[in-house]
Every structure is written in C-alpha cells, then in structure tokens.
Amino acid sequence: MAGLEDLYKEIILDHYRNPRNKGELETPPAHKAEGFNPLCGDEIVVYVDIDDDGVIQDIATGGQGCSISQSSASMMSAAVKGKSIEEALAITDGFKAMMSIHESGLESEKADTKPDLSMGDLSALKGVVKFPVRIKCAVLSWNTLLQALGDAARPS
C-alpha cells in the first residue's frame, strides 16, 4: 500500500503553507483563467502576464483547494515564471506525463518525444500517481495555465 509519506512530502506542505505567487494580476494586461474540479469543488484561478516576446513576465494564482491542488499551483507558478510560452508548454507536458498513470505502458513510445526536463521541486508531486483520485487535484492548475496561455495566444 502506498504510504501517506509518498503523498505529503515536506516540500509539498511547504508550498501549501507558503504558496508562491499567490494573488491576482490586473486584467488586462494579464490573462485570467478559472479551473474547477466539479467532483470535489477545488477552484483555481491563474493570471499570466505575457510580454511582446512571448515570455511569462508575471504569474499569480488564486482559489481554494486541498494541499495537493494548492501546492501544485504554487510549484507550477514558480516553474513557469520568466519562461517563454513554448518552455511553459514543454514543462506542462512533462508534468502531465509524470502524472499519467499509464506512463509506464507508454514509456517506450514517449521516450523520444518526452522533453528532457529537470522537474526540480515538481518531482515531489510524483507520489500523487500512487493515489489516482488525487491526480486531478495535481493537474488542475496546469490545465488552467493551458487555458490562460490559450487565451493569451488568441487575438483579443
């Protein structure tokens, strides 16, 4: 049986208690997206401020939810801040691949395409895979980021 220590790592609890980039950004210029987990009621708001070169100058997250969704949002914001949209998308792909329960089965296929990324703090969330119902909590902020980046790419 997967033990809770695989889930509630110290780094995760630190991000939960001291979330990075928590708050709001003015829209516009920032883009805002809201994500919901209809099963459990978690809500995440992501603001991204993207400059003319396509770099995420600033990011903020809000909303409420469990330690997994909140810490993942905090880590996500730290991981993509200052990165280009392409880099942020690659990090998101890498994170979502890590969260995929089918990952082992797809490993061989994915090996070529998988971006070579050091997940840093993010790898602390790897244990979530052992708790399948919590995967949705971990990926909520990332899907919301994709939504915000998608909105940013769209001409307003």
For residue 105, the tally of other CB atoms under 10 A from its CB is 10
* Distance in Å, CB of 85 to other proteins, minimum: 30
- Report the phi/psi class of residue 39: left, alpha or beta, with left for phi > 0 and alpha for psi in -120 to 50: alpha
CA distance between the termini of the chain: 50
Three-class SS state of 55:
strand
* Distance in Å, CB of 52 to other proteins, minimum: 37
Q: Which stretch binds other proteins (CB under 8 A): 25-33, 58-66, 72-80, 115-123?
A: 58-66
* 138 interacts with other proteins by CB under 8 A: no
- Kindly tell me which of 36 and 117 has the beta carbon lying closer to other proteins: 36
Q: Which of 55, 66, 78, 119 binds other proteins (CB under 8 A)?
A: 66
* 41 interacts with other proteins by CB under 8 A: yes
Interaction site with other proteins (CB under 8 A): 1, 3-4, 7-8, 13, 39-43, 64-68, 70, 131, 134, 137
